[in-house]
């Protein structure tokens, strides 16, 4: 029997045999779609053991909401519904992820902020040694400017007389340089 007929039986007759047939045919699509998001979903608290129950619920809801006259195959509709399920779960739960902080992170000391300032000063002196003086200017405007509006890439680019993308590329060059010379800064 075609997917459209099975969906029709589920909608009109609440036919469990049709649902089981649809579930058997399309479980693979659900598992494949879930696999793409499983790592992120696990990170925000999703139990992988719940996938079988949730898969059945998604298939049932997809069958109830499917409209064959729209020109979309049920498999495509179901795949999108499973993707929406995963993305909605991630978006709803990413805010509630718990983060454990060490004692030093919970109560930053004056010494810690002093060390950060000292390392930033060393990093800026390293950047000043680069051949392109614009790198230093980009970093200075981006990280050591008290006016938030001046930190925008558009304003930095205008100040240098270059495009936004060029300002970003200059910044990336500085970041790459710092990564190579990071051991000397710490």
Tens digits of per-residue pLDDT, 56-70?
A: 899 889 988 988 888
| Average pLDDT of the segment spanning 20-42 | 86
- Each residue of 93-127: pLDDT tens digit? 776 554 444 444 444 444 455 566 777 888 888 88
Average pLDDT value for the chain: 81
Distances (CA, A) of 84 to 7, 11, 95: 20, 21, 18
pLDDT > 90 fraction of the chain, expressed in percent and rounded = 16
**Cα 136 versus chain centre, distance:** 31
- pLDDT tier, 134 (very low <50, low <70, confident <90, very high otherwise): very high
180 to 55, 56, 130: CA distances (angstroms): 47, 51, 13
Which of 75-89, 104-118, 155-169 has the lowest average pLDDT? Answer: 104-118
The domains of the chain are located at 3-96, 103-185
Of 84, 36, 88, 41, the closest CA to residue 62 belongs to 84
| Alpha carbon separation from 161 to 134, 153, 155 (Å, rounded) | 10, 12, 10
> What mean pLDDT is predicted for residues 152-181?
90
Q: Is the pLDDT of residue 184 over 50?
A: yes
Question: How is domain 103-185 classified at the CATH fold level?
Answer: Arc Repressor Mutant, subunit A (1.10.10)
Residue in the block written with tokens 């498999």: 75
* More reliable by pLDDT, 105 or 80: 80
How large is the average pLDDT for residues 144-152?
78
- Could you tell me the sign of the dihedral formed by the alpha carbons of 99, 104, 109, 114, in that order? negative
Q: Which band of pLDDT confidence, cut at 50, 70 and 90, is reported for residue 158?
A: very high
Question: Helix 51-65 crosses helix 16-43 at what angle (to 10 degrees)?
Answer: 120
Residues in Cβ contact with 83 at an 8 Å cutoff, skipping those fewer than 6 apart: 33, 36, 37
């Amino acid at each position: 029997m075609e997917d459209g007929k099975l969906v029709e039986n589920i909608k009109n007759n609440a036919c469990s045999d049709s649902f089981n047939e649809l579930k058997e045919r399309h479980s693979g699509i659900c598992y494949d779609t879930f696999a793409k998001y499983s790592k992120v979903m696990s990170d925000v608290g999703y139990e992988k053991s719940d996938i079988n129950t949730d898969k059945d619920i998604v298939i049932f809801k997809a069958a109830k909401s499917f409209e064959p006259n729209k020109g979309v195959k049920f498999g495509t509709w179901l795949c999108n519904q499973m993707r929406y399920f995963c993305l909605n779960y991630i978006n709803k739960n990413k805010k509630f992820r718990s983060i454990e902080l060490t004692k030093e992170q919970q109560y930053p000391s004056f010494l810690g902020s002093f060390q950060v300032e000292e390392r930033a000063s060393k990093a800026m002196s390293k950047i000043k040694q680069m051949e392109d003086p614009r790198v230093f200017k980009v970093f200075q405007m981006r990280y050591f400017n008290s006016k938030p509006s001046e930190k925008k890439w558009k304003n930095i680019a205008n100040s240098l007389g270059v495009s936004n993308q060029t300002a970003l590329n200059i910044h990336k060059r500085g970041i790459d340089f710092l990564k190579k010379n990071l051991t000397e800064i710490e």
